[in-house]
Amino acid sequence: MSIYSQHGYGKGTKIEAGLRDGALRGVILSPRNESPEKLSAFATGLRAEFQDGVTLLFDPQFYATIVPDARDGSLADYPYYRPGLTRRQFISQADVHEYAADTLGFQSTLDLDRWISPAVLFDDFRDPWSQIALTMAQESISVHRQTQNAAPLLLSLVLDENALRSRDSLDEFLDIITSWDVAGFYLVVRRNDRSYPAAFDDSVLLNLVYLVYVLAEVNEFEVVCGYTDLVGLLLLAVGGKAIASGWFNTLRQFSLSPFQPATGGRAPRARYTSAPLMSSVLVVPELATAYYVGRTADMLSNTRYDQAMANGDPANALWPPETACLHHWDVLARLAEGVGGTNVGVRLATLESEIRQAIARYALLQSSGVQFEAPTGPRDLTLWLRVVQAFRSEIGA
Amino acid sequence: MALPVLAATQIATAIPDITITGTERRGGQKLVFPCEIAGHPWALKLMLAQPTQPAGVDPADSSVESFDPVTARARREVAIMYECQSPHLVKLGPLPLAQVDIEGQSIIYFTEEWIDGQDLAEILRVDGTLSVEDVRRLGLHIAAAIEELWSKGHIHRDIKPGNIMRREANGDFVLLDMGLAFDLQAQSISSPGTTPGTMIYFSPEQANVARKRQLDFRSDLFALGIVMYEALTSVHPFIAGAATSIEVLGQILGATPAPPSTHRAAITSDFDRVILRLLAKSPHLRYKTCERFRAALTTARGGGVP
């Protein structure tokens, strides 16, 4: 159970600091946000400093090739990247093979622990893009088999959350991919709700948990869940090896919006990740209100970073984004450790207990006058509780 | 599918290299005679060729090649036996596939290894069950056969007690009858809309004709799960409340089987878990590889049950 950094724009020294803290165990590199030379130098530097203590992965972000007029940043400088592809360019198996060969070939130039296959995003397990994704995965397996000294291969699955609405089509998809001989999967789920944290539908989250459980626990694949935030605790509890999260909300839940034409926006409000609440609350007004009613202790995570919040009014505390990010990773790592256990039944029982306690703390805070906005209130916890209970019942754990 | 009507003397006349040494056994489409060739025992398999013309074609039109599913299956069976080396798959004999006319019947025949022993159906009919350790051997041996077939891209599709022999000499189990084996790369031999096999040993996905080409070795693991369950308990896991094969198939599709220990208390929870996992409705909930199944079965506690 590990937390990886989802690399993105403006990394500063956060990743190195998170690794030094021991909160992070790996990094998923983003070509969109670094030139090939800088990314290579960054990876080399991480390896030199942390050696086997860091798992280095590279998300090729091939899914951006089908975004019209994509804001692809430095991706355009990578030799495997083809901007503006349409379905027509995926009809030929030879073309798909070439995309796979080029993408994995580039990764062979980096000192990575796993290679990640290229992928396209699909909305439904039965749509044509899903078939293209399967072909691309198979071609990646074929290329990987023929490559000497290759790192173990993770097949990339990039899907819209709506694909997870139907268990029947998910079952059929799983029947196919579980027969493949690969080390594991890199799973990315596009979220449709733009708010943070994005709301999940019960059946979608239940099927996501099932997907990870089948891949990781039943079929013993290594499953790395990209762009995953606190909800990733459920995925770790059912066998996921790692979840990846970053400093921006767009690095904590996946959408194609960073690749699409900019529509403007405003800076996100400062957040504080509360271990007792298993949630990222707003510093103002939520944490600040708790301070005024004397209940800050019920929300504090007590990491090495949050002394500023413990020592006075959070509204006036020095809480720069870098600190908030390192604190966030630290809390994620601690919560992940808390739901550790020898088997999935134990882990889910522990997680359920943790969720219940967090819901009880929310109730206590609310009864003391702390009001929460809907996304940062207990909404997600009650959903997680329903999902964990339903899943435990389904697998008899 | 009709069986050929043949006497041993007719065969001896038509195939002079062979000495028939016993009485025939009748399968669904085959007659099987024990025989000797150059002093060694073999099994001689004979089938009735049944050429059919494609629909809408004048039978007199010699430009259209007729298709014989029996010959095609026999050809495939022989090819599979030729390429597979596992000691747990029956081997091809010295006479390759050939055709001979006997009394107006077009007969396809070939020889295969003669296995001195009993088939599992007969063993279970007489003894009721196998010991837990013998069921473990059964699982390990037939899984090795499934693995070998799958490594060549084949699925057996008809694993059942009647197609498994136990060698008298060493107690090893051997999988027979690759006549229904499915080659993922090859053209389909069975008619459109049909699924060959023995219905009460079908996997849930095997019952779904639309998914015929998506089958893989995990379908054979499901059938092996039924066979192991029967060998442990003398009960078919999906028989409860079912009076016909169709009803059993309905249970295969929808019912959750009781753990084997329900029928035989001394069976350990380890064995229960391994068998029930083979019987999972979805292939992705069974074992990812035969190797992993064998590892789980090898380490499952037998509980000292003989």
pLDDT, average across residues A242-256? 90
Minimal-distance CA residue of chain A relative to B214: A176
- Higher-confidence residue of B84 and A354: namely A354
Query: How high is the pLDDT of residue A364?
Result: 96
Residues in B closer than 8 angstroms to A213, CB to CB, are: none
CA distance B43 to chain A (A): 36
- pLDDT for B177 equals 83
Nearest in space to B45 (alpha carbons), one of B86, B103, B91: B91
B158 is catalytic: yes
| pLDDT digits 0-9 by tens, B91-114 | 999 988 888 888 888 888 999 999
Question: Tell me: the pLDDT tens digits for A65-84?
Answer: 999 888 899 999 999 999 99
pLDDT in tens, B41-92: 999 999 888 766 555 555 455 555 556 778 888 888 888 888 888 999 999 9
CA B276 to chain centre: 21
Which tens digits make up the pLDDT trace of A282-305?
A: 999 999 999 999 999 999 999 999
Contact B283 A179 (CB under 8 A): yes
Q: Is the pLDDT of residue A7 over 70?
A: yes
pLDDT in tens, A130-168: 999 999 999 999 999 999 999 999 999 999 999 999 999
* B window 264-283, beta carbon within 8 A of A: 282-283
Whether the per-residue pLDDT at A237 is higher than 80: the answer is yes
Please report which confidence band the pLDDT of residue B6 belongs to, taking 50, 70 and 90 as the band edges: confident
Residue A113 exposure: Cα atoms within 13 Å on the Cβ side: 19
- Model-level pTM? 0.88
User: What's the pLDDT tens digit per position in B271-293?
Assistant: 999 999 999 999 999 999 999 99
Residues 322-361, chain A, touching B (beta carbon < 8 A):
none
B-chain residues within 8 Å CB-CB of A171? 282, 284
Q: Say what the pLDDT of residue B183 is.
A: 55
Put simply, the chain A residues between 189 and 228 with a CB less than 8 A from any chain B CB are 214, 218-220
Rounded Cα gap, residues A66 and A61, in angstroms? 11
